[in-house]
Amino acid sequence: MAPNRLPEHADTARASGTEQQRYNIGEVLDLLRQDFDAITIPKIRFLEDQGLVKPERTPAGYRKFRDADVERLRYILRMQRDHYLPLKVIGEHLDAMDRGLEPPPVEPVVPTVPQVALAADGVPSPESFSRRDNVRLSRKELLKIAAVSEDLLAELEQFGLITAQRTGHYDSDALVIAQTARELADFGLEPRHLRGMKAAVDREVGLVKQIVEPHRRANDAAAQARAEQLASEIAALAVRLHATLVKAGLRRP
């Protein structure tokens, strides 16, 4: 397999016996973002937790990544993004390379499903679930920006679809929910009709929390980061499945 491209400003292999460049996790993030703009530090930590990359540790416990580690991360991210390979399969590829073997070819050798058929159709990515903003809207601002009535907002709150923060403000999620509920109301779907959707969402959230809870109980920051990444990835998959099941159901006679 042809060697992967090294970062332009990374020190490549030097003369025999010479120390190679070492990067901290923030520097690795900067290198990878040149090609993978959605990469995050929790994602890197998650891949380490899965045993796919094993950076050195200083006596103080800080991660130090070599050029080979960076290229290993590039390979993982490229296989996920460009070939949709699950981490288990990518791990098998890496194991083969670690043992001096060539990984199986990823180029299709038989007719494949067009990529347009596998598109996410705007379904949220794992990164969208972990993204945070500092938007805080007053009730008056939410009503104006979302273009909803006081009665509609009151109903959305009554059925648990929107909840104000402890400060009494509303976040960007509340804004999207209010706008979407207004658009659904144009088709005759009122907040009381959306209770079933909310109940289904609560069940999905419960399943995700059940899986990640053991990680959340850990005290170290790395475990907390892994829990956040895991929750984001599972949630994105659940939403994709939900959306596809709805689409498939509508197509059935």
Residue among 59, 51, 49, 58 nearest 23 (CA):
58
CB atoms under 10 Å from CB of 193, counted, come to 13
Q: Is the pLDDT of residue 7 over 50?
A: no
What is the spatial distance between Cα 50 and Cα 231, in angstroms, rounded to a whole number? Answer: 15
Taking the domain 25-112, which CATH number applies? 1.10.1660.10
**Predicted local confidence at residue 156, as pLDDT:** 96
**Predicted local confidence at residue 107, as pLDDT:** 66
Domain with CATH 1.10.1660.10 in the chain: 25-112
Token look-up 């949709």 returns 84
**Predicted local confidence at residue 108, as pLDDT:** 59
| Mean confidence (pLDDT) of the chain | 83
Classify 63 as helix, strand or coil.
strand
What is the spatial distance between Cα 125 and Cα 16, in angstroms, rounded to a whole number? Answer: 44
Read off the pLDDT of residues 113-164 as tens digits, 9 standing for 90 and up: 555 555 566 777 777 777 677 788 999 999 999 899 999 999 999 999 999 9
What is the spatial distance between Cα 240 and Cα 233, in angstroms, rounded to a whole number? Answer: 11
**Predicted local confidence at residue 38, as pLDDT:** 83
What is the spatial distance between Cα 189 and Cα 181, in angstroms, rounded to a whole number? Answer: 8
Taking the domain 128-251, which CATH number applies? 1.10.1660
**Predicted local confidence at residue 64, as pLDDT:** 94
Read off the pLDDT of residues 72-91 as tens digits, 9 standing for 90 and up: 999 999 988 888 788 888 99
Read off the pLDDT of residues 217-237 as tens digits, 9 standing for 90 and up: 877 777 778 888 888 888 888
**Predicted local confidence at residue 19, as pLDDT:** 57
- More confident site: 248 or 9: 248
- Asked which of 14-28, 33-47, 189-203 is least confident by mean pLDDT, the reply is 14-28
Q: pLDDT band for 15, please (50, 70, 90 cuts).
A: very low
What is the spatial distance between Cα 132 and Cα 92, in angstroms, rounded to a whole number? Answer: 34
What is the spatial distance between Cα 136 and Cα 19, in angstroms, rounded to a whole number? Answer: 50
Is the Cβ–Cβ distance between 47 and 73 less than 8 Å?
yes
Read off the pLDDT of residues 87-113 as tens digits, 9 standing for 90 and up: 888 998 999 888 888 887 776 545 555
**Predicted local confidence at residue 227, as pLDDT:** 85
Q: Rounded to 5 degrees, what are φ and ψ at 64? A: -135, 115
**Predicted local confidence at residue 111, as pLDDT:** 54
**Predicted local confidence at residue 116, as pLDDT:** 56
Task: Give the Å distances, CA to CA, from 188 to 159, 179, 191, 196.
Answer: 17, 15, 10, 16
**Predicted local confidence at residue 148, as pLDDT:** 93
What residues form DSSP beta bridges with 57?
A: 63
